[in-house]
Amino acid sequence: MCATCGCSGKARLRLVPSGHDHDHAPGHAHHHGSEHDHGDDRTVVLQQKVLARNDELAGRNREWLRERGVVAVNLMSSPGAGKTTLLERTARELAGRLALSVIEGDQETALDADRISSAGCQVVQVNTGVGCHLDAVMVADALHALDPRPGSVVVIENVGNLVCPALFDLGEAARIVLASVTEGADKPAKYPHMFSRADVVLVSKTDLLPYVDFDVRRHAADVRQLSPGARMLQLSAVTGDGMQAWYDWLQLSLPG
C-alpha cells in the first residue's frame, strides 16, 4: 500500500496516445511501499521519503519544461466537476491562438483523452490503475511522449480527487482547482489542503446556479482565507460565460 495515500502499490502507468486502441508497454510502476501500520512512526518516515523523492523528480520536470519554454499547469477537482468539458471548449476556442496540449489522468480508459483529441488538441492518456493521483514519474513519462512544442501550455488533468493530488508536486508552474456549483460551497472548508495550495480557483457550471444551493460568497470567503493570493474565476463551459477570463489567464501564464 502507498504510505502517503493508501492506494495500491500494484498500480501501473499506461501511456495511451489518443486514437490508438492498444496498450503501450507499462511504464514506471506506482510503488510507494508496502502495507503498514498507520500508527507506526515508520509510516511517517516512509511518507516523507515518498514525497521527498517525488519532489526531486518534480524539480527535474520543472527544469525540463523551463529549458523548453513550456508552461505546465495542474488542473485538479473532484470527479465530475467538469475538467474535461472545460478543456474541450478551451481547445476548440483557442485553436490557432494558443499552443495547448493535455496530459489526461484517469484510473482506466482513454475516454477523456478521446474527447480532448476530438476537440483538436494533442493529448496523452495516463492510466493509474487503482492509483488515486498522478505523480512526478508519471508526468515525466507523459511529457516525453507528448513532446510539447516550445512556447506552449500543457494542462495536466489530474485524477478526480480532492485529497491525494494536493500532496504531489508534478513540476507544474501553477495549480488550478475546479469547484463546480453542484458540489456545494463547503468544499474549501472540508478539503483545506487542496484549496490552500491553489493559484487559481475556478467555480464551474455557473449556468446551474439558479437551480442549486451554492453560497457564492461563503465559498469565496473560505477560499480567500485559505489562499489569499489565489485568482478566483467563475465560468460555464456550457454557455461560455466567464471563459474569456480563463483564456486570458492561460495566455498570460506563458513566459515573456
For the segment 132-183, what is each residue's pLDDT rounded down to a tens digit? 999 999 999 999 999 999 999 999 999 999 999 999 999 999 999 999 999 9
What is the number of structural domains in the chain? 1
Range of the domain at 165: 14-252
Residue 220 lies in a domain: yes
Does the model's pTM come out above 0.95?
no
Residue 209 lies in a domain: yes
- The domain that contains 224 carries what CATH number? 3.40.50.300
Q: Is the pLDDT reported for residue 18 higher than 90? A: no
User: Which of 255 and 9 is assigned the larger pLDDT?
Assistant: 255
Residue 164 lies in a domain: yes
What sign does the dihedral 246-173-99-139 (CA atoms) show?
negative
Residue 9 lies in a domain: no
Q: Give the model's confidence band at 27: pLDDT under 50 very low, under 70 low, under 90 confident, else very high.
A: very low
Cβ(105)–Cβ(159) below 8 Å: yes
Mapped onto helix, strand or coil, the DSSP state of residue 61 is helix
Residues 6+ apart with CB under 8 A from 119: 87, 88, 89, 91, 92
Q: Kindly state the DSSP code that residue 26 receives in the 8-state scheme.
A: P
Q: How far is CA 224 from CA 48, 193, 206, 228, 237, in A?
A: 29, 13, 19, 5, 24
